[in-house]
Structure 1
């Protein structure tokens, strides 16, 4: 029962800190998550990263025009919406490559790429190495479980 109580306490402390940071001078993720429009778009992207999102669609989710949404998102998140989407997809892909044995084509589709070649090119640009090599190095660096 003690671990559960510690989890609840940690959650309470984090919520209090998060709320305290959300004042008028809030910046970065705190500000982005407290902005209902940007938070709605982030939730949509995180909920369905493989969808072929457009700025106009994300703006509609946020309840803003395309241009107003793009300005607001970029100001709060620090990168334009589709740049963020690409980063998020490739971050998820790295996790899938590290934690599963799914073929590259399957990983590519799961994160929204229709072409394995486009996925590999984008992945190499972000991670500095092709997905296959990334997977091999991630598996090689994994720590073996101990009994």
Structure 2
């Protein structure tokens, strides 16, 4: 039987401040025991995730650019596939492995999966609809996707 999952509490600005201050004072301190030493009622894993995915200086929280999406798609097609940390470290500095994984699973993979249906809609012989501006952006993606099939 699965263990009941605890309700996750949102991080408060005060907790964020405590963790930031702790990491400022002890940047090289190992994560075990961090929550207690920082005065947080959190697990060490929760502190690690909050720091590395949200609070760490240099984390890019902006929307992904088309160039970043192209990099993710390209690397996902190579032998590196689901190596999110590899992508973050070597190709998308400032992005976290978690953010890259979420971008792939929640947007890019679905877009590539559904692009065949989109292409059939856009590339019809129906002269009553003008989707030429959309076709220009979709044709290269469809060609790349077709090469995978």
Interval of TM-score (by shorter of Structure 1 and Structure 2)? under 0.3
Work out which structure has the larger RCO, using CA pairs closer than 8 Å and 6 or more positions apart in sequence.
1
Larger radius of gyration: 2
More helix by share: 1
Provide TM-score, normalisation by structure 2.
0.25
